[in-house]
């Protein structure tokens, strides 16, 4: 584990950079591709929708074919997506690349989490999973500034071949470093059969509902914050990259909090606290329109709270369906992807009404998510 956890974290940081760089550099991709904002946000939503249905099919192979097979498959799909833009540097190629890299991510991630769920006791699982979740903050601190650097020198498509090569190297290391394992479940590798099992569980349904609702709320703010900051403060490429570093620091702080207190405090209680703080931060954002420092501080609390609540939920998700962990975790990613796709449809009309409209809808979804977590009952969590 001392070698595997850092390796998994690096692989996920590469894929998280490909996923997240679209948000702070949304104006750059919009101008480079020559498409309006509404078209680009719908394309971002389409990648989530495609990943929501394609990802689970591949991720469930982690139950039927073994964890190592599922992880390597995710890496290969990501590499294929990164290669698309190199050979087809157009808007359709960009959309296809976004779809494939995200499918690769949602294939690798659930299988890797199931791998850790098999090997780490539930009482300490938050710590192990949090180490791999450092990949998301690492993407903001290292990956996105690097992407901004290469974009400024070689154009909007430059990050894709770089990320593809890095993923190929990491995949080769995983091939030799992680031992081959046997299948962990007899679950048939079909979308309908696997998810029928999940949907029969009240705890699983509640967990997926919470994921969907909180995902919509977070994605609404994700999609508009870069454009809002450009409109409010005239930020350009370098400044947006700097803002990404601030958000990365917020996320790594949230991950540190999970490692320190979630196992002691309890997963459900941690999720509740995170949702409340996140809602307060969202409500504060419109009040910071005239202060760049205030906006960055508020975004810091928005991202630290969301990171805290979502990573606190991951160990809980791994225990909802222990006999089909990869399937359950792929369901977790599927509902999150559907939430992001839904947010992409409504965000442009909301932003046209004003940033306050986007804020209001995000807070409403967070409040309903608080209601949903009440029904997630696990033996290990009942006293917490």
CATH number at residue 168: 1.20.1250.20
Range of the domain at 295: 4-177+187-375
Residue 49 to residues 96, 248, 345, Cα–Cα distance (Å): 12, 26, 11
Give a yes or no: residue 138 inside a domain. yes
Q: Which long-range contacts (CB under 8 A, 24 or more apart) does 82-89 make?
A: 82/18, 82/160, 82/161, 82/163, 82/164, 82/167, 83/160, 83/161, 83/164, 84/160, 85/157, 85/160, 85/161, 86/157, 86/160, 86/161, 86/164, 89/157
CB 32 within 8 A of CB 235: no
| Residue 384 is assigned to a structural domain of this protein | no
pLDDT tens, position by position, for the chain (384 residues)? 678 888 999 999 999 998 888 877 887 888 888 888 778 877 887 787 787 777 677 767 766 677 888 899 999 999 999 999 888 888 888 989 999 998 888 888 888 888 887 787 777 777 788 788 788 778 877 888 888 888 888 888 888 999 999 999 998 999 888 877 766 555 444 556 666 777 777 778 888 888 899 989 988 988 887 778 777 777 665 566 666 677 778 878 887 888 788 878 888 888 899 999 999 999 998 888 778 788 888 888 998 898 888 888 888 887 777 766 777 777 787 788 788 778 877 887 888 888 888 899 999 999 999 888 876 766 544 434
pLDDT at 11: 93
CA atoms within 13 A on the CB side of 43: 23
pLDDT at 277: 93
Per-residue tokens: 26: 């949304």
Three-state SS at 333: helix
381 falls within a domain: no
Number of domains in the chain: 1
41, 352 contact by CB (below 8 A) = no
Distance of alpha carbon 256 from its chain centroid, rounded?
17
Comparing CA positions, the residue from 65, 378, 335 lying closest to residue 199 is 335
- Residue whose C-alpha is closest to residue 219's, from 34, 348, 77: 348
Alpha helices in the chain (DSSP H): 4-20, 26-33, 37-59, 61-64, 67-87, 91-119, 125-138, 144-154, 159-177, 191-199, 202-233, 237-257, 263-265, 267-284, 292-320, 325-353, 355-372
- Map residue 146 onto helix, strand or coil: helix
| Helices (H), ranges, 200-291 | 202-233, 237-257, 263-265, 267-284
**Length reported for the chain:** 384
Q: Which residues contact 197 (CB under 8 A, 6 or more apart)?
A: 187, 321, 324, 327
Distance from chain centroid for Cα 129: 14
CA–CA separation, 328 and 333 (whole Å): 9
Q: Give the per-residue pLDDT at 78.
A: 93
């Amino acid at each position: 584990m001392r070698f595997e956890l850092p390796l998994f974290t690096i692989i996920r940081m590469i894929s998280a950079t490909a996923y997240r760089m679209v948000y702070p550099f949304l104006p750059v991709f919009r101008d480079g591709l020559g498409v309006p904002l509404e078209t680009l946000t719908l394309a971002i939503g389409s990648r989530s929708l495609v990943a929501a249905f394609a990802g689970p099919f591949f991720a469930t192979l982690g139950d039927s074919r073994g964890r190592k097979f599922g992880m390597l498959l995710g890496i290969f799909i990501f590499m294929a997506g990164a290669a698309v833009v190199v050979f087809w540097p157009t808007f359709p190629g960009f959309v296809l690349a976004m779809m494939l890299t995200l499918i690769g991510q949602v294939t690798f991630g659930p299988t890797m989490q199931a791998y850790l769920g098999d090997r780490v006791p539930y009482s300490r699982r938050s710590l192990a999973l949090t180490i791999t979740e450092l990949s998301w903050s690492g993407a903001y601190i290292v990956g996105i500034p690097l992407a901004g650097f290469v974009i400024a020198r070689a154009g909007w498509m430059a990050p894709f071949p770089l990320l593809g090569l890095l993923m190929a190297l990491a995949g080769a290391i995983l091939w030799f470093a992680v031992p081959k394992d046997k299948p962990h479940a007899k679950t048939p590798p079909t979308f309908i059969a696997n998810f029928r099992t999940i949907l029969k569980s009240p705890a699983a349904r509640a967990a997926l509902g919470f994921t969907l609702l909180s995902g919509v709320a977070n994605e609404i703010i994700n999609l508009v914050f870069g454009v809002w900051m450009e409109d409010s403060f005239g930020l350009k490429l370098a400044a947006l990259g700097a803002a990404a570093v601030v958000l990365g620091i917020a996320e790594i702080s949230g991950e540190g909090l999970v490692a320190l207190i979630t196992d002691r405090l309890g997963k459900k209680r941690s999720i509740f606290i995170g949702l409340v703080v996140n809602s307060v931060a969202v409500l504060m954002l419109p009040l910071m329109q005239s202060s760049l420092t205030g906006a960055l501080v508020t975004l810091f609390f928005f991202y630290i709270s969301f990171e805290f609540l979502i990573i606190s939920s991951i160990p809980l998700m791994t225990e909802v369906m222990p006999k089909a962990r990869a399937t359950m975790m792929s369901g977790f990613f599927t509902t999150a992807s559907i939430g992001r796709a839904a947010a992409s449809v409504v965000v442009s009309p909301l932003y046209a009404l004003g940033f306050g409209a986007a804020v209001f809808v995000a807070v409403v979804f967070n409040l309903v998510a608080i209601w949903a977590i009440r029904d997630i009952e696990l033996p290990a969590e009942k006293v917490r």
